[in-house]
Each structure stands twice: as C-alpha cells, then as structure tokens.
Amino acid sequence: MKASSIFATLKTAAMSSSPTPVQAAFKLALQRELRSSVDGISREALLRAAAAACREPLGERWADTQIADAKRGDDPLKAPVRRVHYLSMEFLMGRALGNAIAALGLEETLREAFAAQGQALPDVLEREPDAALGNGGLGRLAACFLDSFAELGLPSFGYGLRYQYGMFAQAIQDGRQVEQPDDWMALGNPWEVPRPEASYRVGFGGRVEVDADGSRRWQPTEHLIAQAYDFIVPAHHSQRVSTLRQWHASAAAPIDFQAFCRGAHAQAAKHRVAADSLNWVLYPDDSTDPGRELRLKQEAFLVSASLQDLIARHLREFSSLHNLGKLNAVHLNDTHPALAPAELMRLLLDEHGLTWDEAWTINRQAVSYTNHTLMPEALETWPLYLFEALLPRHMEIIFEINQRFLDEVRAKFPGDEGLLARVSLIDEGGPFGHGGERRVRMAHLAIVASHRVNGVAALHSELMVQTIFADYARIFPERFHNVTNGVTPRRWLQQCNPQLSALIDGRIGKGWRQDLAQLGKLKGLADDAGLGQQFGAVKRANKERLAALIRRELGVAVSPDSLFDVQIKRIHEYKRQLLNVLHVIARYQAIIADPTAEWTPRTVVIAGKAASAYQMAKSIIQLAHDVGRVVNSDPRVGDRLKLVFLPNYGVSLAETIIPAADLSEQISTAGTEASGTGNMKFALNGALTIGTWDGANIEMAEAMGVENMFVFGQRTDAVAQIKALGYDPRLYVEQNLQLKAVMDAISGGEFSNGDTSRYRALVDNLLGRDTYLLMADFADYVATQARVDALYRDPAGWNRCAILNVAGMGWFSADRTIAEYVERVWSVRSLD
C-alpha cells in the first residue's frame, strides 16, 4: 500500500479536525495562574501559566483519544488497528510550549496575553528548559515519532523513564568539557500529569521456587513501585494526542522503623535511596559494576512497568489475553528495552497462567525491534552473573527461548556448530567472546523474539544483514526490513523557521505541514529569481540571529555574510568532527600563506557532547577550542575564517542553529552512520550538504538529485578494500604536503601554546590506525570544500540549489516513516 493511502486510512480513523473553542478557557486559566503566582509576572510565571492553561484542553483530548482507541477492536469486519507501545530509554523532547500552542491554535491568544504583561512570546518560550532525556539521534527520533503518532491518529503510548537529571549539561572550562547535572525539573515540570492509578510493583533479585504442580514462581528480594507520569503530545491537524508515559521509581517497603528509632537514619532510608537512584540520570557510567547494575535495573524497570500497564489496559478493554498480540505492538527502540520479550513471557506464564506456546505466539506477534547502529561495541550484552542475580526468572526464560531456538536452527542447518555458537543468545566467552565471561546477547534476544527487525536507512539495513546480523538473515530472511528515518516537519520547519515557513506557504500553500511531499512543488520554482532572493533574505535573518547568539555566548563576532558551515551532533570519532577541524587548520594555513587570494569567508560552527568516559572525543572538543582560539584571534585572518564551538548542544540549540546554516557537515566514514536525522533537518531548512555516501545522505542525494549535494570520500566497498589491503595512513600524509603541514602544526604545539604532548595520542592514532580513514578522505574533502566556496560566490546558483534541497525533502517526514512502520512492521498483515 502506498504511504498516501495509509494516511487516508489512518486519517479516517482519526477524529474530526475542527478545533474546540479553548481560547476562552485559556484566558481564564492564565488569569487564575497570574493571580496566584508568588513571583509576579516573571517570564517563568508566564510560562507556568501558559502550560497550566494548555493542560485543560490537552487533558480533554487525551481522554477522548483513550475512549476512541478502546473501541478499536469493535468492528469484526475490519483488521484491527494495533496500539503501538514504543519502548525507549531515551526521549529527547526539547521544549513543549511552542509545540503545544501551535497544535492548539493558541499562538495569537498567547502573544496578546503576554504582550499585555509587557513580554514578547519568543522571550517567554526561551525560558523553558529542554527535556533532554536522551543522548542523540535515537532519542530525538523517538520524540519525532510521538508527534507523528498523534498526527496520524495512531493508538499509541511511548514508554520511558522519568529521569531527574537527563543528559548532563555541558560546560566548557579552558576549552575542556565539564559535565554538570542538568536539573531540568528544578522549577517543577508543568507538563506532566501524575497518574497515581497507574502504579505497578517491579521485583529484583531473590530466587525461583517451584510449586507442587511444577509451576515456577519468582520470589524477589527487592520490590520497587513504578508510578506513571504522562506527557501529552498533541496532533496539529486533529484533536488526537499521543502519550509519553514515564515511570518514576520508589521503594515498596516503608522506612526501617527500628533503625530510624536507633538514630541510624541513613540505614533506615537505605532502600529508599537505592530505589530513587533509578530516577537520577540517563546512562549512569557503566564502566563500573554498580553502574552496570543500575543501568540493567533501569532497563528491567522500564520494561516491566510498561508491559504490566499494557496488559492491564488490554484486559480492561478486551477482557481476554488471546488477542493481545494482534491488538498490541511492542516496539523496541534498539536493544535497551530488549528484556521485554522475557518479561512478557514471565507475565503471561507466571502471572496469567498461559502455556509456553500460547505466550510465545502472543510475544512474537507483538514484538518488533529497530537497530540503530552497526558498531559492534554498541551491541548490548550483560554478564550472566549480574543478570542471574537481578533477574533469575528472566534468565530461566531466556535459556528456554534459546534452547527451543537452537533446536530449530539445528534442524534447519544440521551439523553447523559454528552457526549455533554465533547465533546463541548466550555468548559462551570463547576465544572471540568476552575473555571467558558468559554474557547474554540482547540484540540476539530481540531478533529471535520479534516478527520484524528493521534498520533505519537503506544502506544501514543492507549492511545490517550482510555484517552483524548475517547469520540471522539466513535463518529468518523474511524478518529483516528497512524503514528510513524521518523528522517531524512541525518542529523542524514550521516552528524553528517561521520565516521560511511563511515564504513556502506563500508559494505552495500550507499543506506541507501534513503532507511533506508537497514540498516537491517548489522544484518548478527553483529558477524563480525572486524566490531565490527572498530565500536568501530569510537565511540572512536567521544567520543574524545565530551571530547574535554566538556573540552573547562566546564573545566572538562572526559575520552573517560569511558562509555558515555547521556540524552539530554527538562527538564521536566515526562522525569525524576531527576531519572538519583538520580542514579548518588547512584553510587557516592557506589564508596566512596567501591572504590576498579570493577567499570565501567562512564561519565554522561545531556543537555536541562527548560521552563522559570517552577521552578521544573530549580531546577533539579541546582541539576545536584550541584551534578556534588561535584562528579567531589572528589579525591576519579577519572575517575570512572563524571557528566556534557552542556549548551544551541540545534540541533547542539545534532549533536556532539549523535554520541559520548554509552548509551541513555529514561526513561520517562510509558505512558507519546508521542514518542521521540532523542531515534531514538541515536540508529541510535550505542548507546544502557536504557529505559522504553514508546513511540517509544517500537517499537524500537520490531524492534531491546528487548534483545538488557535495558528495565526497571513499564509499563503503572502497573503505573495506582499503582496510583489507592493509591501510597505512602515513602514506597519505607523506604524499600530501597540505595534510603534512596540518599534522605537524598540531603535534608541534601550534595550537596548544607549544605543548607538544597535549595531542600526542590523537595524532598517533591518526598516523597509526586511523580507524575512520580521515587521512584517506582528507584530500577529497578539502577539494570538495573548494567547490562549496565556488558555488557560494554565486548567490543565485546557491539559492537555487538550496531551494532544490528543500523541494527534495518531502519523503523525509516522520509521518511517512510511521506510515511505513504501520504497514510493514506493526500491521496485523506483517505477522508471519
């Protein structure tokens, strides 16, 4: 079925799109809030008032949506729409107010109400802290998906954890990253709706007892209570909502009263603190045993509470478990919630008395899994001893799943012992395993228990079945699919770039917000010089806004006339921010050598966080600062080149930076970036891409015409070939004087005040191993940057290309992505 007809089906299922008159209610709520506000009419008070007022209509829409969805199995003639349960350890929601008022149609009402208090709407919106409960792409994708769930009217719940300090806040001291807690709920969270009625017990530890009838019963030693807090995500073109349900942990047992009376207060509260630690942060440092244990507990807690919630709701709505698998999808956002099949089996077998076969059928019908990375080191495994100690019953169930699965494989591929060892859910710790330690392989569990497994861009899905999951693709060829990522046009164009949105509206109408494919109509207008100029003017205004932010944050003056060259994403070696910095150094040296040449002025902007234990990534951040300091203060350079690093990257910063970018850097080594979604947001906002033939860049190039993207670098097969032939990065350096000068400058301490040791590890790594082929791709990258300069000197040509970029992005809407999930992953028809 084509995406458009899926939209039609879903839209019919969605409720009417006429908005209810909430403006009056909103005004009343605002007045009430303002009267009771103790801090007068600060921007924070206005923010709270607005949020409180939005809660009423949101709450009504939520209730209506639940009532409608509960009836979804009523028509025996129609294949039931399944309710999707999207399990994810990360949701990078960003700010909520701008989105809520756009969806509820309250922008003008608020603008006026705030103006009456002497405040401008954007200034108030800016005061809202980001809900940054995620690391990167995977978490932001989950947030975009919630928006599309609502927009498409899909019965759904997103399930996550209510972290008190999401991702750390990044400060920079002396050019170095310093991690600080991100206390995003310090002033409360006006958006969350506590649901005391949705509360479940989750056990840990203990042992499994066998009853007289042979049934097995888990007796945990520790119990936590999971309590739900809902965040409501409204549709923009209907009254539907989706829900992000986040779990908060607390101890089930009261304080130890005896200990308290003895005056041993800390001991009395010990298990309370232990329970609370699950709520503290996303990704406690898992380089230590207690860190690993906490992370596993968080994952098990998320999974158990969410599945208990699902089963309770299903029984309320349909009174029987037999159709649970057909009416519900349980989706695993990477392997982090991959305990779900083990927990679902446990609940169905031990708590609800189903047989293994009944439970397994339901499980396979319900569960599906998305893989987001090919990096083998990112595939989760857990030491058996830890798993067994925390989750003894789940361990038994996984052994049973494994045994049955391996029996099937034996029957299908007799005599292949190597295959059995490779696909087993247990890594036995052989010569290629984890140094003798037995471990549970979560990706393997996710694949065996799912009816669908998908990658997130065409190349990634292909590589997935050719490399990390090749054995599984042989065993279950029908299970593997591709669903290319997308982004929500509501946040990533309409809200973050109102001027460009208005310009597009004026030319092709407003329909693109709901049907992004309509952007294709801009293709025919790309040669319209008037549109090109207006397009340039919008970009210029957005650049001025970013230049002001850079001056405010960093005290650096950058010229809006320069080309804004932007790379913003997690800092990781494979993403090659270092290649970007090497190019800046090469350009710097060339400017010094020939200052009168025709230079296209450039401002290079980098932002991103490095994982706290990732030393190389932190070193790259420091180098960017060191190079920036030298380049920005060199009077011989002037406006020709600037390098700035904006601290504390997150969703809101991205919303300011992306509309202001001329050039988007998507320069990962071919075959390493699963998809990328930042690449899509940039192109949607009219930035041109300099990129490798990797992830979704490929499909973007195909959609917009490869001639409208600056593609460079070795492709996946060449990367493999270079490595197979014994890659020697030094050869590339010796043959390229420019590259040699760059490397010499870094190792000679030119950017580190003569300190030749600061970047020794970094340089040695590049000259010795260079896992991500920076040396091999450098020459082509620099040459391609020169082509970028040339086009930028022709504003009409540049704007034409930028318009064609926007025109080509219609396919990259998260609405299209979700329509594909519905059709190919979550539909009842997808069950094999």
Q: Which residues are known catalytic residues? A: 372, 569-570, 575, 677, 681
Q: From the list 101, 103, 141, 531, which residue makes contact with ligand 26W (rule: CB under 6 A)?
A: 141
Q: How many residues bind ligand 26W (CB under 6 A)?
A: 17
364 Cβ contact partners less than 8 Å away, ≥ 6 residues apart:
325, 449, 450, 451, 831
Q: Which stretch binds ligand 26W (CB under 6 A): 113-121, 244-252, 615-623, 674-682?
A: 674-682
Q: Indicate which single residue of 14, 22, 125, 138 sits in contact with ligand 26W (rule: CB under 6 A).
A: 138
Supply the minimum distance, in Å, between the C-beta of residue 335 and ligand 26W: 7
- Which of the stretches 54-62, 121-129, 135-143, 656-664 binds ligand 26W when contact is defined by CB under 6 A? 135-143
Cβ closer to ligand 26W: 381 or 632?
381
Structure tokens at 159: 């399930």
Query: Is residue 2 a contact partner of residue 87, using CB atoms and an 8 Å limit?
Result: no
Residues 347 to 406 in contact with ligand 26W, rule: CB under 6 A: 372-373, 378, 380
**Is 681 a binder of ligand 26W (CB under 6 A)?**
no
Residue-by-residue DSSP string for 87-147: E-S-EEEE--HHHHHHHHT-HHHHHHHHHHTT--HHHHHTTSPPEEESSSHHHHHHHHHHH
Q: Are 322 and 188 in contact (CB under 8 A)?
A: no
Side-by-side strand order, sheet with 663-666: 641-645, 602-607, 563-568, 663-666, 688-691, 710-711
Q: How far is the CB of 677 from ligand 26W (least distance, A)?
A: 5
Regarding 613 and contact with ligand 26W (CB under 6 A), the answer is: no
Distance in Å, CB of 513 to ligand 26W, minimum: 23
- Our CB check for ligand 26W shows the closer of 61 and 372 to be 372
Residue whose tokens read 């008032």 = 49
Amino acid 438 reads R
How many of the other CB atoms lie within 10 Å of CB of 696? 28
DSSP designation for 456: S
Q: In angstroms, what is the minimal distance from the CB of 278 to ligand 26W? A: 16
Residues 523-542 that bind ligand 26W (CB under 6 A): none
Q: With CB under 6 A as the contact rule, which of the stretches 137-145, 271-279, 470-478, 612-620 interacts with ligand 26W?
A: 137-145
Q: Is residue 456 a contact point for ligand 26W (CB under 6 A)?
A: yes
CA distances from 243 to 35, 65, 156, 395, 652 (A): 30, 10, 7, 31, 21
β pairing state of 426-427 and 439-441: antiparallel
Residue 399 CA to its chain's centroid (Å): 32
Q: Which of 675, 765, 799, 813 binds ligand 26W (CB under 6 A)?
A: 675
Which residue of this chain has its Cβ atom nearest to ligand 26W in the complex? 137
Q: What is the DSSP letter of 80?
A: P
Tokens of 303: 């999974």
Considering only the stretches 91-99, 136-144, 381-389, 623-631, report the one whose residues sit in contact with ligand 26W under the rule CB under 6 A. 136-144
**Burial of 598 by CB count in 10 Å (0-12 exposed, 13-18 middle, 19+ buried)?**
exposed
When the beta carbons of 286 and 396 are compared against ligand 26W, the nearer one is 286
Least distance CB 334 / ligand 26W (angstroms): 6
| Whether 131 contacts 183, CB under 8 Å | no
Q: Is 151 near ligand 26W (CB under 6 A)?
A: no
Pick one of 143, 674, 804, 818: the residue that binds ligand 26W (CB under 6 A).
674
Do the beta carbons of residue 440 and residue 384 sit within 8 Å? yes
- 132 touches ligand 26W by CB under 6 A: no
Nearer to ligand 26W, 341 or 729 (CB): 341
Q: Single out the residue of 695, 713, 729, 810 in contact with ligand 26W (rule: CB under 6 A).
A: 695
Residue 677 makes contact with ligand 26W by CB under 6 A: yes
Q: How far is the CB of 262 from ligand 26W (least distance, A)?
A: 42
Q: Which is nearer to ligand 26W, 455 or 532 (CB)?
A: 455
Closer to ligand 26W by CB, 227 or 669: give it. Answer: 669
146 neighbors 242 (Cβ within 8 angstroms)? yes
User: Could you give the angle at the alpha carbon of 458 between the alpha carbons of 8 and 362, nearest 5°?
Assistant: 65
E-state strands within 355-457:
367-370, 381-383, 426-427, 439-441, 452-455
Which residue in the set 136, 486, 608, 691 belongs to the binding site for ligand 26W (CB under 6 A)?
Answer: 136
Phi, psi of 208, rounded to the nearest 5 degrees: -105, 125
Q: Both tokens of residue 255?
A: 């304080």
Nearer to ligand 26W, 375 or 557 (CB): 375
Instruction: With H, G, I as helix, E, B as strand and everything else as coil, classify residue 768.
Output: helix
Question: Which of the ranges 505-513, 668-676, 750-758, 772-780 carries the binding residues for ligand 26W, by CB under 6 A?
Answer: 668-676
Smallest CA-to-CA distance from 368 within 85, 752, 595, 789 is with 85
Nearer to ligand 26W, 466 or 753 (CB): 466
Is residue 485 a contact point for ligand 26W (CB under 6 A)? yes
Q: How far is the CB of 705 from ligand 26W (least distance, A)?
A: 22
Is residue 339 within 8 A of residue 379, CB to CB? The reply is no
In the complex, minimum distance from the CB of residue 31 to ligand 26W, in angstroms, rounded to a whole number: 43
Our CB check for ligand 26W shows the closer of 241 and 516 to be 516
Q: Are 642 and 632 in contact (CB under 8 A)?
A: yes
Q: In the complex, what is the shortest distance from the CB of residue 773 to ligand 26W, in angstroms, rounded to a whole number? A: 18
User: Cα 149 from chain centroid?
Assistant: 16
Residue (98 or 695) nearer to ligand 26W, CB? 695
In the complex, minimum distance from the CB of residue 672 to ligand 26W, in angstroms, rounded to a whole number: 9
Cβ proximity to ligand 26W: between 61 and 336 the closer is: 336
Q: What is the DSSP letter of 437?
A: B
Instruction: Quote the least distance from Cβ 285 to ligand 26W, whole Å.
Output: 12
User: Given the rule CB under 6 A, which of 133-141, 228-236, 597-605, 726-734 is the region that contacts ligand 26W?
Assistant: 133-141
Write down the least CB distance from residue 703 to ligand 26W, Å: 16
State in angstroms the smallest separation of the CB of 586 from ligand 26W.
Answer: 27
Binding mask 85-124 for ligand 26W (x = CB under 6 A): ----------------------------------------
Query: Which long-range CB contacts under 8 A does 628-632 form with residues at least 24 apart?
Result: 629/175, 629/751, 630/588, 630/750, 630/751, 631/584, 631/588, 632/556
Residue 688, SS3?
A: strand
Which one of residues 137, 234, 341, 383 is an interface residue with ligand 26W (CB under 6 A)? 137
- Which residues 714-733 are close enough to bind ligand 26W by CB under 6 A? none
* Bridge partner list, 171: 178
DSSP assignment string, 164-211: SB-SPEEEEETTEEEEE---TTTT--TT-EEEEEEEEEEEESSEEEE-
Binding residue for ligand 26W, selected from 160, 190, 659, 676, defined by CB under 6 A = 676
Q: Give whichever of 3 and 674 is closer to ligand 26W, judged by the CB atom.
A: 674
Q: Residues 163-192: x/- map of binding to ligand 26W (CB under 6 A)?
A: ------------------------------
Which of the ranges 16-24, 132-140, 209-217, 657-665 carries the binding residues for ligand 26W, by CB under 6 A?
132-140
How many helices and strands (H and E) does the chain possess?
A: 35, 24
DSSP string, 463-519: HHHHTTTHHHHHH-GGGEEE----B-HIIIIIIT-HHHHHHHHHHH-SGGGT-GGGG
The residues that touch ligand 26W, with contacts defined as CB under 6 A, are: 135-138, 141, 372-373, 378, 380, 456, 485, 673-677, 695
